[in-house]
Chain A
Amino acid sequence: MVERVEIIGVGFEGFRPSITDLSTRELMYEAASKAYHDAGVDPRKDIGSFISCTEDLWEGWSIADEMVPDQLGGAGRPVCTVPADGIVGLGHAIMHIRSGVADVVAVEAHSKVADVLDKTAVENLALDPVFHRATGANSDVLAGLEMSSFMEETGTKRGELSQVVRSAKRKAMRNGRASYGATLELEEIDSSEPLALPLRRLDRPEFAEAAVVIVLASGSWAKRHRKDGVFIDGLSWRSATPWFEAGGVKTARYMQDSYRSVMKQSGLRDLSQFDVLEVDDSYSFKLVQHLMSMGVSKVGVMGMLKEGTALNPSGGSLGTGHLIEATGSHKVLECVLQVRGTAGGNQAKGVGRAFASSWRGNPTGAGAAIALSVGN
Chain B
Amino acid sequence: MSSRIRKYPGTEMDLKEIEAGKFLFSSYETVLRYSFTSGVAISRFLEGLKEGQLWARECDKCGRILIPPRMYCEEDFRSTDRWVRVRDTGKVNTYSISYVNNDASRRRTPVVVSVIEIDGASKGMGILHLLGEVDPRKVTVGMKVEAVWKPKKERRGAITDIVYFRPRR
Residues of A within 8 A of B (CB): 19-26, 29, 33, 36, 42-44, 57, 60, 69-71, 73, 75, 112, 114-118, 121-122, 124-125, 129-130, 133-134
Q: What residues of chain A lie closer than 8 Å to B77, measured between beta carbons?
A: 33, 36, 42-44, 73
Contact, CB under 8 Å: A121 / B70:
no
B71 within 8 A of A: yes
Shortest CB-to-CB span from A314 to chain B, Å, is 25
List 7 additional contacts besides A26-B71, A60-B32, A60-B36; criterion CB under 8 Å.
A23-B42, A26-B39, A26-B72, A33-B79, A44-B75, A115-B37, A116-B32
Contact, CB under 8 Å: A118 / B71:
no
Q: What residues of chain A lie closer than 8 Å to B70, measured between beta carbons?
A: 25, 70
Shortest CB-to-CB span from B15 to chain A, Å, is 22
Q: What residues of chain A lie closer than 8 Å to B75, measured between beta carbons?
A: 44, 75
Given A42-B77, A75-B74, A124-B30, also A115-B36 (CB < 8 A): yes
B31 within 8 A of A: yes
B23 within 8 A of A: no
Given A44-B76, A71-B72, also A26-B40 (CB < 8 A): yes
Q: What residues of chain A lie closer than 8 Å to B39, measured between beta carbons?
A: 21-26
Q: What residues of chain B lie closer than 8 Å to A73, measured between beta carbons?
A: 74, 77
Residues of B within 8 A of A (CB): 26, 28, 30-42, 70-72, 74-77, 79
Contact, CB under 8 Å: A117 / B35:
yes
Q: Could you write out 22 A-B pairs with CB less than 8 Å apart? A: A20-B37, A22-B37, A22-B39, A22-B40, A23-B39, A24-B37, A26-B40, A29-B71, A33-B77, A42-B77, A70-B70, A71-B74, A75-B74, A112-B37, A115-B35, A116-B32, A117-B34, A118-B31, A118-B32, A121-B32, A125-B30, A130-B26
Q: Which residue of chain B is the closest to A114 with respect to CB atoms?
A: B37
Q: What residues of chain A lie closer than 8 Å to B31, measured between beta carbons?
A: 118, 121
Complex Cα spacing A129 to B27, Å: 8
- Please provide the 10 A-B residue pairs with the shortest distance between their CB atoms, ordered closest to farther: A23-B39, A70-B74, A60-B34, A73-B77, A117-B33, A75-B74, A26-B39, A29-B72, A129-B26, A129-B28
Q: Which residue of chain A is the closest to B38 with respect to CB atoms?
A: A23
Q: What residues of chain A lie closer than 8 Å to B38, measured between beta carbons?
A: 23
Q: Which residue of chain A is the closest to B77 with respect to CB atoms?
A: A73
Shortest CB-to-CB span from B130 to chain A, Å, is 23
Q: What residues of chain A lie closer than 8 Å to B79, measured between beta carbons?
A: 33
Complex Cα spacing A20 to B35, Å: 11
Q: What residues of chain A lie closer than 8 Å to B76, measured between beta carbons?
A: 44
Contact, CB under 8 Å: B32 / A23:
no
Question: Interface centre among B28, B32, B34, by most A CB within 10 Å?
Answer: B34
Complex Cα spacing A44 to B77, Å: 7
Complex Cα spacing A25 to B72, Å: 10
Shortest CB-to-CB span from A62 to chain B, Å, is 11
Question: Interface centre among B26, B34, B37, B79, by most A CB within 10 Å?
Answer: B37
Shortest CB-to-CB span from A138 to chain B, Å, is 12
Q: Which residue of chain A is the closest to B31 with respect to CB atoms?
A: A121
Shortest CB-to-CB span from B69 to chain A, Å, is 11
Shortest CB-to-CB span from A245 to chain B, Å, is 17
